[in-house]
Structure 1
Amino acid sequence: MADPTYVDEYNAIVAVLSQYNDGGKKADSAVMKPAFSDKATIFGIEDGKLAGGPIQGLFDTIDSAFRPSPEAKAAVVRIDIVGTAASARIDTDNISGYRFTDFFNMLKVDGKWTVVSKIYHTHPNA
């Protein structure tokens, strides 16, 4: 079998990122967990200070503080792929009333793409 093409890798990454988007839209971390390495981290700025740590913090927040948002929209703005490493940006509107820009670092581990880190920006509500 031939090595995967850029298009194959791109589509595989979009599929992983879709798990994240679907989990946010449904406010269900079980939907997004498969997108992340169990060693993944999340960081952002909250109240002017660095906040974050293990990815479990995202899952806990999704399950406790978010509500299903069928009207939510997300766009994969870019994906950069080099061998077994990739980065991606997603802009999301109206996830539980919030707008986010998320940056993901991904690695291809055992033939599957996985998110190893996420940083985010929460946009002010208009």
Structure 2
Amino acid sequence: MKKLFLLLLIIISAGQFAAAQQNPTMNIEGTASSIIGKLDKSIQLNEVQKPKLLTVVTNYLQQKSNLQSLQVTNEKAYKTKINSMQNGLHTRLKTILSDTQYASFLDLKPKAPDATNVLTQLYY
């Protein structure tokens, strides 16, 4: 009985470990703050824009995080939802940033997903 219990415990632990590896959690608030910091340096945000952008980016990252399991289970539905979310994000950004800032923001897009560039979270 003890061996069966131990075996069951090992199987459950291994499953949880594998799930954690497939869907790592993101520090949403920290990532959002890093994104705003990078944008501030690149496109010179004013004091009114910063909190508005922080809210928009935090909400976007939270929604994106909630979709991670869908990326594994239904890639087509994930892509549809993420495209819709990105369109909504850009619509909100256009209302906060000036035309010049928004054009500069678009120029900051990494050419491919890059784990060293925090802005990757907004584009990929």
Higher normalized helix content (fraction of residues): 2
Structure that is richer in strand per residue: 1
Whether these two folds match at TM > 0.5 is: no
TM-score by length of 1: 0.32
Larger Rg: 2
With the length of structure 2 as denominator, give the TM-score of the two structures: 0.32
